[in-house]
Structure 1
Amino acid sequence: MSFLKDISCEYIMDSLADGVFTVDLDWNITFFNRAASAITKVSRAEALGRKCWEVFRSSICDGSCSLKAALADGESRGNRSIFFVRPDGTKVPISISAAPLRDRKGRIVGGVESFRDLSALRLMQKKLDGLYRVEDIVSRSPAFQRILGILPQIAGSGATVLVLGESGTGKELVARAIHNLSARAGKPFVAVNCGALPENLLESELFGHKAGAFTDAKRDKPGRFQAADGGTLFLDEIGDMPLPLQVKILRALQEKIVEPLGAVKGQPVDVRVIAATNRDLEDMVARQTFRSDLFYRLNVVRLALPPLRERPEDVPLLAQHFISRQNALTGKEVAGLSDEVLRLLMRHPFPGNVRELENIIEYAFILCPGGLIQREHLPDKLARPAEGAASAQDAQIHTALSAFVGGPLADIKRQAVEQALARHGGRVMAACRELKISKDTLRRIVRTPSGEQGA
């Protein structure tokens, strides 16, 4: 064990995957390891000497601090789940443990706290539970912000909602947010894609069937309406529903009764319906391919989600949101997008909308080892755009970026540089090679104050 004498405690702490920091009795941070910097997005130099609540801004800094309790009674506190707020406003869930620090005579001289990022775990839980709320919908678009602003009132009304928008705009995410903001939040949220099943199977799927109703119907099976009883039923792609089934949907909405296949009487259900489609239902009504009475029954509250090409200001924000999600899932340390990649994405028309952007970021993560996502990490179609496509949109791109580049983008660049320097032990040229930027550019980024445009 003598070799341990030659290894500093700081080196050992920096090798840990968990964040670790220490404070003195005045709550000034005296140590901040590399993982703490990576999780908080605050460099060691920025953290040292500051009060711990100035760095973390956590959910327990208002008086229920675990570290304060540990110092008060001289005992450790372990495995408490909280969240803190990063400098960019992102809430990060963490698990913390706190303990007093003692000198050789046993006197308490400060405290130590370790913490673990729970973002990946929470993300997997959300995917399993479907618990997406308004704060999970990322947008700076004024049109989308207006929708988000009225979602709580819509959720509380209990009215039927019709969500319109192209594929990939987030219709189901909005539907889940409405459900989770409503009084039905503790009840089931059941989603059905009306265009994914043939008519005979869709009817059984929605309304259920009795034993013997058709071949292979050996026992009673409840439908999605019954499964959603007390909660919310999301009918996606309602425009693809066959006309005969539209009559049964209308009866279920009006009378709150469903009739399983083979049943002699209906069954009462208490279900809120949220429908969605990427088709023009009013035109379908005019062409008599969609029932007008059902359309007006569904169209109590209408939400039209704008496509991504009409809200380019959301591209940088959404991209960074997906990068943070992929970092949590993969364990990588991708800091953001290079300027070139950001402009390529801003020029892209996104026929697949937000879903397409998410897939692009996921693809880039396969090729990008860390640092900034570069042009070569993008799918070929994006990396080599058609000639002349850039100039027509440059003015719109410049306008959309003007509010983003000065603040969030400059912060992202500076954080990327600081993290690269930390990974390479302060070696400037090694960090430049990783980020593929010049030494002068790196220095300008580090010198740029928050809120001003970087290089």
Structure 2
Amino acid sequence: MPKVDHCKQLTVILNSVADGVFTVDDRMRITLFNKAAEEITGFTEEEAIGRHCHDIFRTDVCFTSCPVKEALESGQPVINREVDIITKEGKKVPISISASMLKDENGKPLGGVETFRDQSLIYALKKEIEEKYTFHDLVSRNPAMRRLFDVLPDIASSEATVLLKGESGTGKELFAQAIHDLSPRRKGPLVIVNCGALPEPLLEAEIFGARRGAYTGSIENRPGRLEMAEGGTLFLDEIGDLPLPLQVKLLRVLENHEYQPLGARSPQKADVRFLTATNCDLEDMVEKGTFRRDLFFRINVVALQIPPLRERPEDIPLLIDVFLDRFNRTYGKKIRGFSGEALQFLLGHQYPGNVRELLNLVEQTVILCRSGEIGVEHLPAGFLEANDRDEDVSFGRRSRINKAILQDLLARYEGNRTKVARELGVDRTTLWRWMKKFDLKN
């Protein structure tokens, strides 16, 4: 039987994998360089062998936070660190790096090994998705949302008053921002008033302004949001909460383009474009007499209905990527994404709080996650309990489940969650939720 050349066999294997692989000695000089490494960097094996790795991987991290040095010094592997390298031809290429220490048969360090993957295609696809499905700060592939994106430039170019309708958290303020940014008034201010945030006397002064002495404690002239929005756009959020007396004053502004601050002797002109939003059924409020019919017709010149997130589930993965990228930058983390099990929960949730709820959920999990992937264990217990997706499976068993039973099963199967879930007739995500509920770590 012919003798096997293990070194040659190893070289063949390494040259057949798609990831770049190279090794270094204890002086950080390259000792092995596979075919994929040649293709990604542009350097041949002959050019790379014997040179310091920073001569080949020309990137700032080589001198600040080299993954191989970090693995050698800590003894712990570095997993999926994303950096940009400059190829031999001067092209910038995004790669994902993993590095570990190399040891001999006695455990003595010999050097390090690094594997890296070209992320150019992933970045290109991500950019294409962003360009195709992003409109200003709005992201969607949903047909109803795309139709709204299509008409926004035409609406923005007019002076028409716009009523944005939708549940709380659907992104009405982002739509208002997009309309303002696309309008001829974009160089002016966008001023926002939440009509439900203040009691009537304070809200009146907030919107219309007040002159010195108009009320107790008023010692100087106070400009209102109308004056602050001069030449720009005033966005009245939650207009359904505007008290009836202020509805009359607002109607006068819309009809005559003038208003009178509290305590003022004469009215003043308003050069302002109005955007409004509500999560209420204004038509029903008109019928009940809690919202003026004439004001409703004035603000309902153009109405846009923003669908809730539960009606556009295809947007959830897009939004998760956008929010994950945002919070990675905010908190200085490099989380790649959610595990399959965690993602199942996110995709199956109904989101009564809409996009805002998803935003808060991603932020919370990013804060809690210490690894490169967000798992079920990082999801809030309340969120997990609200997402019992096993209503038709083992109902009798679930109704009898308690902490003692789970502890016994986990001990019996030595912490193997797959076997415990199979015994209970549920999936692993349901078992995760129960363990979190009873504060069981293993």
Q: Distance in 1 between matches of 2:222 and 2:285?
A: 33
- Deviations along 1:79-112, one digit per CA (max 9) or x if unpaired, are xxxxxx64311699xxxxxxxxxxxxxxxxxxxx
* 8 A Cα contact 2:349 2:387, kept in partner: no
- Between the aligned residues of both structures, percent identity stands at 47
Which residue is 2:354 aligned to? Answer: 353
Structure 2: stretches of 5+ with no match in the other structure: 1-24, 30-51, 55-59, 66-81, 98-114, 394-442
C-alpha distance in 2, partners of 1:304/1:91?
A: 24
Distance 1:293 1:33 in 2: 60
1:14·1:33 contact (CA, 8 Å) conserved in 2?
Answer: no
* Aligned residue runs from structure 1 range 305-320, under 5 A: 305-320=306-321
Partner secondary structure for residue 364 of structure 1: helix
Task: In structure 2, give the amino acid aligned to 1:14.
Answer: C
Given the superposition, is the C-alpha separation of residues 216 and 91 from structure 1 closer, same or farther in structure 2, using an over 3 Å criterion? Answer: farther
Counterpart in 2 of 1:284?
Answer: 285
1:27-84 superposed Cα distances (whole Å, 9 cap, x missing partner):
566x87768xxxxxxx95437xxxxxxx599xxxxxxxxxxxxxxxxxxxxxxxxxxx
Match of 1:296 in 2: 297
Partner of 1:89: 127
Determine whether 1:10 maps to 2:82.
no
How far did 1:371 drift?
2.3
Once the 2 structures are TM-superposed, how far is the Cα of residue 164 of structure 1 from its aligned partner?
0.5
Q: What is the alpha-carbon distance in structure 2 between the residues aligned to residue 343 and residue 199 of structure 1?
A: 45
Amino acid at match of 2:86: T
Residues 106-140 of structure 1 show CA distances to partners (whole Å, capped at 9, x for unaligned) of xxxxxxxxxxxxxxxxxxxxxxxxxxx93321111
Deviation track 1:223-260 (CA, whole Å, cap 9, x = no partner) reads: 00000000000100100000000011011111111100
State how far apart, in whole Å, the 1-side matches of 2:254 and 2:230 are: 13
Separation of aligned partners in 2, 1:285 and 1:267: 29
AA aligned opposite 2:310: R
The 8 Å contact of residues 13 and 20 in structure 1, kept in 2 or not, is answered as no
Equivalent position amino acid for 1:172 in 2? E
Shift in alpha-carbon separation, 1:270–1:324, aligned structure 2, 3 A = same
1:372: how far off? 2.2
**Normalization by structure 1: what TM-score?**
0.62
Matched, 1:275 2:347: no
Answer yes or no: is 1:22 the counterpart of 2:86: yes
Give the drift of 1:20: 5.1
Moved more, 352-361 or 330-339: 330-339
Q: Which residue in 2 is equivalent to 1:100?
A: none
Matches within 5 A, 1:45-444: 45-46=117-118, 55=120, 86-89=124-127, 134-385=135-386, 387-388=388-389
CA contact (8 A) 1:335 1:372 kept: yes
Provide the residue aligned with 1:120 in structure 2: none
Distance change (3 Å), C-alpha of 1:32 and 1:333: closer
The number of equivalent residue pairs is 307
**CA pair 271-335 structure 1, distance change in 2 beyond 3 A:** same
Q: Which residue of 2 aligns with 1:110?
A: none
> What's the CA shift for 1:190?
0.3
- Mapped to 1, the partners of 2:212 and 2:146 lie a distance apart of 49
Q: Which has the larger radius of gyration?
A: 2
Change (3 A) 1:352 1:20: closer
Asked if structure 2 preserves the Cα contact closer than 8 Å seen for 1:169 and 1:355, the reply is yes
SS in structure 2 at match of 1:6: coil
Contact kept, 8 Å, 1:347 with 1:389, in 2: the verdict is: no
Give the letter aligned to residue 286 of structure 2.
V
SS of match in other structure, 1:89: helix
Question: 1:5 & 1:45 partners in 2: Cα distance?
Answer: 24
**What is the rounded CA distance, in whole Å, between the counterparts of 1:183 and 1:368 in structure 2?**
44
Q: Which stretch of the first structure deviates more once superposed, 370-379 or 223-232?
A: 370-379
Q: CA deviation at 1:19?
A: 5.1
User: What secondary structure does 2:191 align onto?
Assistant: strand
Structure 1 portions without partners, runs of 5+ = 36-42, 48-54, 58-84, 93-132, 393-455
Taking a change above 3 Å as real, the CA distance of residues 229 and 280 of structure 1, as seen in their structure-2 partners, is: same
Q: Could you tell me how far 1:14 is from its partner in structure 2?
A: 3.5
RMSD: 2.9
Deviation at 1:219, TM superposition (A): 1.2
Q: Look up the equivalent residue of 1:6 and give its one-letter code.
A: R
Any conservation in 1 of the 2:94–2:118 contact (CA below 8 Å)?
no
The answer (yes or no) to whether the contact 1:161–1:303 under 8 Å persists in 2 is yes
SS at match of 2:192: strand
Distance in 1 (alpha carbons) for counterparts of 2:392 and 2:183? 46
**Residues 237, 276 of structure 1: 8 Å contact kept:** yes
In the alignment, the residues of structure 1 paired with residue 284 and residue 216 of structure 2 have an alpha-carbon distance, to the nearest angstrom, of 38
Deviations 1:254-313 (A, max 9, x none): 111110011111011100110001000000001110000100000011011111111111
Cα separation, 2, equivalents of 1:233 and 1:333: 39
Query: Structure 1: which amino acid aligns with 2:27?
Result: D
Aligned residue number for residue 64 of structure 1: none
Could you say what secondary structure the match of 1:341 adopts? helix
Structure 1 pair 389–286 and aligned structure 2 pair: CA distance change class (3 A): farther
- What is the deviation of 1:387? 4.1
